[in-house]
């Protein structure tokens, strides 16, 4: 699905030198690399504060802790996403409330979001799934009406641009009260291990979160709040500093591959290609098609048999996962997610795909669906 070695090849000299430099510096934790990466990412995103942490799941958890959410508070998120989002809600003993998504963009359905709001609702977590932003203008409007926090899960969409109706542009993750991301190796900006970050323009929240990632300390050995230990290490930060200047080029390479796929499939009535909302760019963390009239699972297997990696993201809606079942959920409220789990297929998508590989993937798919 991804070609991490191919991407490394292009920056190998820089990376190898840097790794050696960090090793010899012995500043493995909270060294200057982490501080410099933080500043450079703030600059790239146009956000006041970036707080690096250990992974994207921690980032979500710490964001919710920082906002002071309390057990019993309801937090609304999408039914069709990676489980990390709902997991941290449950871990903090908040009440997850899952809502259906839109069939064309895979992102949170705004009508379903409105319907899910109760007096206990405290926050909304839009997930910018597969690389394009959810309808943030609508989310912000609802949040303002009901006095709710907005936490953007940007693990799959770092680098995407959102355009408001008045023409203002913002980077994904810098639109709500707080945004979170992951630097897991296969993400669009990936390190060589685990990593994550939290973004905010709110000075007070940034201060709270900076202590929370470090055992709740604002002064050494004085623990004012219950915190966690969640750090991005210097080696990962050093690698991310080399990759960050390439992020826009990485996104472009992904978009180019996506356009190539879309052109090849657009005339085919058995394949629905990704649709991009007009308020967002798409950085194609995943290139996900929907398969009609043909057995999706058989196509999945056929591609594997031909040596083509492909994934079903996601095979089970969160509301049906054993850990997250809730008597309040009604199947008719999750019509779209229940359909998508049987039709979606994510194709190889990374920065190193060449036309020969793309042609082989496309031909193999078309031969099967046109059979
Ligand atoms: C990857 C991912 C996460 C979790 O990130 P980790 O760094 O693996 O903890 C959270 N949310 C979404 C949508 C993701 O894709």
3-state SS, 62-126, equals HHHHHCCCCCCCEEEEECCCCCHHHHHHHHCCCEEEEECECCCCCCECHHHHHHHCCCCEEEEEC
Helix, strand or coil for residue 368?
helix
Quote the Cα angle for 44-102-118, to 5°: 90
Test site for ligand 1: of 1, 57, 236, 240, most ligand atoms within 8 A of the Cβ: 57
Please give the pLDDT value at position 164: 98
Domain end marker among 245, 265, 293: 245
In order, the DSSP letters of 199-262 are EES-HHHHHHHHHHTBTTEEETTEE-S---B---BHHHHHHHHHHGGGHHHHHHHHHHHHHHHH
- Kindly give the number of the ligand 1 atom that is closest to the alpha carbon of 196: 7
Tens of pLDDT, residues 16-47: 999 999 999 999 998 999 999 999 999 999 99
The rounded Å distance from CA 57 to ligand 1 centre is 6
**pLDDT averaged over the chain?**
97
Tens of pLDDT, residues 43-73: 999 999 999 999 999 999 999 999 999 999 9
Please give the pLDDT value at position 132: 98
User: Which pair of structure tokens corresponds to residue 193?
Assistant: 């291990």
Please give the pLDDT value at position 3: 87
Helix, strand or coil for residue 264?
helix
For residue 10, the domain's CATH number is: 3.40.640.10
Indicate if 251 and 222 belong to the same structural domain. Answer: no
Residue 277's pLDDT band (cuts 50, 70, 90): very high
Indicate if 298 and 162 belong to the same structural domain. Answer: no
Nearest residue by C-alpha to atom 6 in ligand 1: 56
User: Which pair of structure tokens corresponds to residue 77?
Assistant: 């998120």
Backbone angles phi, psi at 78, to 5 degrees: -80, 145
pLDDT over 90, % of the chain: 98
The rounded Å distance from CA 82 to ligand 1 centre is 7
> What is the arithmetic mean of pLDDT over 339-354?
97
Tens of pLDDT, residues 175-218: 999 999 999 999 999 999 999 999 999 999 999 999 999 999 99
- Cα gap 310→289, rounded to integer Å: 11
User: Which pair of structure tokens corresponds to residue 305?
Assistant: 């048999």
Domain end marker among 245, 280, 313: 245
The rounded Å distance from CA 84 to ligand 1 centre is 6
- Cα gap 219→222, rounded to integer Å: 5
Domain membership of residue 231 as a residue range: 4-245
- Kindly give the number of the ligand 1 atom that is closest to the alpha carbon of 127: 13
| Number of compact structural domains in the chain | 2
Match 């809730």 to its residue by tokens. 326
Tens of pLDDT, residues 116-173: 999 999 999 999 999 999 999 999 999 999 999 999 999 999 999 999 999 999 999 9
Q: What share of the chain is helix, strand, coil (3-state, %, to 5)?
A: 45, 20, 40
- Cα gap 134→234, rounded to integer Å: 32
Looking at the predicted structure, is the pLDDT value of residue 2 above 90? no
- Cα gap 181→189, rounded to integer Å: 9
Indicate if 232 and 158 belong to the same structural domain. Answer: yes
Indicate if 207 and 329 belong to the same structural domain. Answer: no
Indicate if 45 and 55 belong to the same structural domain. Answer: yes
This model's pTM is above 0.75? yes
Indicate if 99 and 224 belong to the same structural domain. Answer: yes
- Cα gap 178→150, rounded to integer Å: 7
Test site for ligand 1: of 58, 91, 127, 155, most ligand atoms within 8 A of the Cβ: 155
The rounded Å distance from CA 172 to ligand 1 centre is 15
Indicate if 251 and 241 belong to the same structural domain. Answer: no
The rounded Å distance from CA 183 to ligand 1 centre is 9
The rounded Å distance from CA 80 to ligand 1 centre is 13
Please give the pLDDT value at position 201: 98
Closest of 358, 357, 268, 348 to residue 300, by C-alpha: 348
The rounded Å distance from CA 302 to ligand 1 centre is 28
Residue 342's pLDDT band (cuts 50, 70, 90): very high
The rounded Å distance from CA 152 to ligand 1 centre is 12
Indicate if 212 and 253 belong to the same structural domain. Answer: no
Looking at the predicted structure, is the pLDDT value of residue 1 above 90? no
Indicate if 318 and 170 belong to the same structural domain. Answer: no
Domain end marker among 245, 272, 298: 245
Indicate if 198 and 274 belong to the same structural domain. Answer: no
Neighbour-count burial of 364, counting CB atoms closer than 10 A to its CB (0-12 exposed, 13-18 middle, 19+ buried): middle
Helix, strand or coil for residue 209?
helix
Q: Are 64 and 94 in contact (CB under 8 A)?
A: yes
Nearest residue by C-alpha to atom 3 in ligand 1: 56
Test site for ligand 1: of 84, 85, 286, most ligand atoms within 8 A of the Cβ: 84
Which residues does ligand 1 sit against, CB inside 6 Å? 55-57, 81-82, 84-85, 127, 153, 155-156, 182, 184, 194, 196
Indicate if 235 and 253 belong to the same structural domain. Answer: no
Indicate if 256 and 295 belong to the same structural domain. Answer: yes
Tens of pLDDT, residues 281-338: 999 999 999 999 999 999 999 999 999 999 999 999 999 999 999 999 999 999 999 9
Please give the pLDDT value at position 216: 96
């Amino acid at each position: 699905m991804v070609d991490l070695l191919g991407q490394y090849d292009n920056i190998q000299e820089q990376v190898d030198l840097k790794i050696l430099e960090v090793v010899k510096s012995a500043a493995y934790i909270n060294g200057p690399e982490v501080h410099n990466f933080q500043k450079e990412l703030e600059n790239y995103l146009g956000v006041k504060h970036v707080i690096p942490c250990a992974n994207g799941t921690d980032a979500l958890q710490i964001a919710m802790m920082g906002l002071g959410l309390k057990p019993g508070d309801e937090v609304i998120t999408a039914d069709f996403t990676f489980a990390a989002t709902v997991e941290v809600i449950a871990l903090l003993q908040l009440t997850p409330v899952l809502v259906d998504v839109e069939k064309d963009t895979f992102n949170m359905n705004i009508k379903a979001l409105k319907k899910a709001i109760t007096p206990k609702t405290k926050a909304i977590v839009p997930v910018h799934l597969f690389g394009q932003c959810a309808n943030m203008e609508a989310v912000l409007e609802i949040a303002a009406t009901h006095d709710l926090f907005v936490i953007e899960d940007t693990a799959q969409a770092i680098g995407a641009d959102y355009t408001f109706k008045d023409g203002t542009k913002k980077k994904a993750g810098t639109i709500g009260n707080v945004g979170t991301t992951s630097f897991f190796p296969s993400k669009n900006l990936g390190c060589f291990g685990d990593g994550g970050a939290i973004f905010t323009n709110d000075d007070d929240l940034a201060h709270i979160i900076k202590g929370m990632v470090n055992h709740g300390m604002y002064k050494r050995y004085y623990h004012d709040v219950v915190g966690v230990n969640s750090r991005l290490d210097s080696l990962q930060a050093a690698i991310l500093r080399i990759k960050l200047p390439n992020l826009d080029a990485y996104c472009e390479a992904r978009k180019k591959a996506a356009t190539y796929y879309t052109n090849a499939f657009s005339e085919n009535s058995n394949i629905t290609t990704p649709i991009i909302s007009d308020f967002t760019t798409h950085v194609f963390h995943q290139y996900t098609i929907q398969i009609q009239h043909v057995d999706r699972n058989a196509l999945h297997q056929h591609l594997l048999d031909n040596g083509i990696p492909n994934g079903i993201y996601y095979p089970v809606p969160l509301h049906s996962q054993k850990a997250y079942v809730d008597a309040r959920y009604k199947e008719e409220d999750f019509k779209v997610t229940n359909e998508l789990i049987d039709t979606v297929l994510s194709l190889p998508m990374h920065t190193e795909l060449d036309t020969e590989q793309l042609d082989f993937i496309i031909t193999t798919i078309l031969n099967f669906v046109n059979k």
